[in-house]
Amino acid sequence: MSKIRTKRKATLIEAIIPLLFLIVVLAVSLIKLDAEPQIPLMIGAIFAAVVGVYRLGFTWGELEEGILETIKMAMQAILILMVVGTLIGTWILSGTVPAMIYWGLEILSPGIFLVATTIICSIVSLATGSSWTTAGTVGIALIGIGQGLGIPAPMVAGAIISGAYFGDKMSPLSDTTNLAPAMAGTTLFEHVKHMIYTTGPSLLIALVLYGIIGMRYAGKELDITQINLIKTSLEGSFNTLSPVLLIPPVIVILMVVMKAPAIPGLIVGTLLGGIFAMIFQGSSIGDVIGAAHYGFVSETGVEAVDTLLTRGGLSSMMWTVSLILCALSLGGILEKTGMLEAIANGLLSIAKGRFGLVLSTIVSCIFVNLVTGEQYLSIVLPGRMYKDEYRKMGLHPKNLSRALEDSGTLTSPLIPWNTCGAYMFATLGVSPLAYLPFAFLNLINPLVSLFYAATGITMEKLPEEDLEKGGI
């Protein structure tokens, strides 16, 4: 007679063991073996599944159901990422992104170099949705200019990081900006609008601080050779960089204001990019389709420009999609077996109330960034852990998605062994520990988020009708 297994939820110890195993596997894979995170995540999911089946009494069918339910909740974000890939490709082909970069570089001024650096990187990152691309192109040029002016490299790097991550956090083209609302259970545009309350004041405070620090360097001669090289290369690669090319992003922004759904809005932006490419750059329909699928390939001969513009396309998003699917598979198992609930309850037993909930979210995001070295996991895991807790407290899920980005996205480049911190070190030549004190936006934003949690400012409640029917 077969033994009947009793199914139960995980205890805190049983939840911590798979997490520790995941930390070890990721640390060895990312740091020692220089591997990509997908396979380590799958190994962590397998270990958690073994615990779930042989220790907690779940069947594989039940765990698979949990995986599919979790992935289903993120399918909108995955579709948006795919559309965003096509949009980036057509916007570069049309000259829209190059025009945004070109006119952004025009605001550079010797007297407010650090402020201008932050603004320029914000514009480029908003246009591209990528902090890495911003730092690896314009950031490199700005580091060189700053050193020529006698401005310490850590200060310049801090301003670059602040600007780059402002755009990475606020741009609908950014993968983390799409991932956070998917994990929390809200919409992309609701998420972006809600982040304005914390990110806007944080950027303003950062700009004031950069202005105060930068005053001592006012009046020095500015060597703009590298900036002019980028501008000249852009001018030579496109028929025109007229401000009229900014119409597609303006229309998409207007659609956001008019509360159009994200996917149709982004598709309209992609179509406009293709039309503008044919009208203003003389591209063929084949060129547009190629850019939408495979991205744009720049061949100016100038490495900084080619690195900046060779990107986009549907294919470019498949790495991120695969990472999301692997992370969500792990998250689905951890959630189905009650492991996330056990960890969340352990943290919430220490921190109580609205402030405690947001504090736990921010601490969890920073902890995941520290122990796993992966920015995406700092959004996925806490997002799944605290989603139900925000609803139980009657808080709109966009409060959770905002907290995830205020901490998970912004602290990742401050950690040397995090993938983001390691990239910035390799690109800018400045250690994260050196530029950390000057990355004002990244340091201030989590504190602003906690201030709002303590005072209740902008902490929007869940509508009664949504609360009654089980949330959004």
Beta bridge partners of 461: 395
What do you get for the CA distance between the two ends of the chain, in Å? 46
pLDDT band at 1 (very low <50, low <70, confident <90, very high): very low
Q: By C-alpha distance, which of 150, 161, 97 is closest to 126?
A: 97
pLDDT score at 472: 47
- Mean model confidence pLDDT for the chain: 85
Residue 313 CB neighbour total at 10 angstroms? 22
The pLDDT of 100-123, averaged and rounded, is: 80
Mean pLDDT of 438-466: 90
Q: How far apart are CA 213 and CA 58, in angstroms?
A: 58
pLDDT of residue 195 exceeding 60: yes
Which tokens sit at 405? 């980005």
Give the whole-angstrom CA distance, residue 403 versus residue 395: 12
pLDDT at 170 over 80: yes
Tokens 């002019």 appear where?
228
For the record, the structure tokens of 284 come out as: 């063929």
**Confidence check: pLDDT of 202 > 80:** yes
Give tens-digit pLDDT for 354-369: 898 999 899 889 887 8
> What is the C-alpha separation between 208 and 212, in angstroms, rounded?
6
Confidence of residue 199 (pLDDT cuts 50, 70, 90): very high
Q: How far apart are CA 370 and CA 418, in angstroms?
A: 7
Check: CB of residue 273 under 8 Å from CB of residue 91: yes
Contact indicator for 119, 159 with CB cutoff of 8 Å: no
DSSP symbols for 423-454: HHHHHHS--HHHHGGG-HHHHHHHHHHHHHHH
* Identity of residue 444: I
Kindly report the number of other CB atoms within 10 A of residue 191's CB atom. 25
Q: Report pLDDT for 435.
A: 95
**What pLDDT was estimated at residue 160?**
95
Q: What is the pLDDT of residues 114-150, one digit of tens each?
A: 998 999 899 888 877 878 878 877 887 788 777 766 7
Residue of 471, 449, 450 whose CA lies nearest to 392: 471
1-10, 346-355, 400-409: the lowest-pLDDT one: 1-10
In angstroms, the CA 358 to CA 371 distance is 20
Check whether 351 has a pLDDT greater than 60.
yes
What's the confidence (pLDDT) of residue 256? 64
At residue 222, the pLDDT reads 58
- 79-93, 104-118, 184-198: least confident range: 104-118
Tell me which of 167 and 328 has the higher pLDDT. 167
Q: What is the pLDDT of residues 273-325, one digit of tens each?
A: 999 999 999 999 999 999 999 999 988 888 778 877 888 889 988 887 887 78
Q: Taking 70 as the threshold, does the pLDDT of residue 15 lie above it?
A: yes
Greatest mean pLDDT among 149-153, 230-234, 439-443:
439-443
Portion of the chain with pLDDT greater than 70, in percent: 92
Confidence of residue 46 (pLDDT cuts 50, 70, 90): very high
